[in-house]
Amino acid sequence: MTRRLLLVDDDDGVRLVARASLERVGGWTVTAVRSGADAIESAAASPPDAILLDVMMPGLDGPNTLAELQGRAELAHIPVIFLTAKARSAQHDSLLRLGAIGVLVKPFDPMQLSNQVVALLGFGP
């Protein structure tokens, strides 16, 4: 069974590379959107198995998007992994306290992204 992932990032290049990596290397079915509002709409319409969510976005940022998802009973169970350009562990700890299951740092290795996501989610091969 193919797993479905919702990728949320306002940067076109990041969305392009991450989507290609996750689909081609990892075999995921990826829906890619550019904003927190689009993420909530997409997740509500077709709940994914997981969400890879950028932290810093205009409008509804990653932490607030996560809060919105957690506030909806039908979406609260979806695991969220933050994607951030900040490598400081203090920030990562605060993101995990918000309820994310993990934090990945940009720039990421496209050949390893899918394995990192799978490891954080605890999915088998």
Distances (CA, A) of 65 to 8, 76, 99, 112, 115: 10, 11, 12, 25, 24
Residue indicated by tokens 């992994």: 81
pLDDT at 125 over 60: no
Model confidence at 90, in pLDDT bands (50, 70, 90)?
confident
Mean pLDDT along residues 5-26: 96
Convert the pLDDT of each residue in 37-52 to its tens digit: 999 999 999 999 999 9
Q: Which residues contact 18 (CB under 8 A, 6 or more apart)?
A: 7, 9, 30, 32, 52, 83, 108, 110, 113
Model confidence at 113, in pLDDT bands (50, 70, 90)?
very high
What's the CATH fold of domain 4-120? Rossmann fold (3.40.50)
**How many angstroms separate the CA atoms of 51 and 117, rounded?**
10
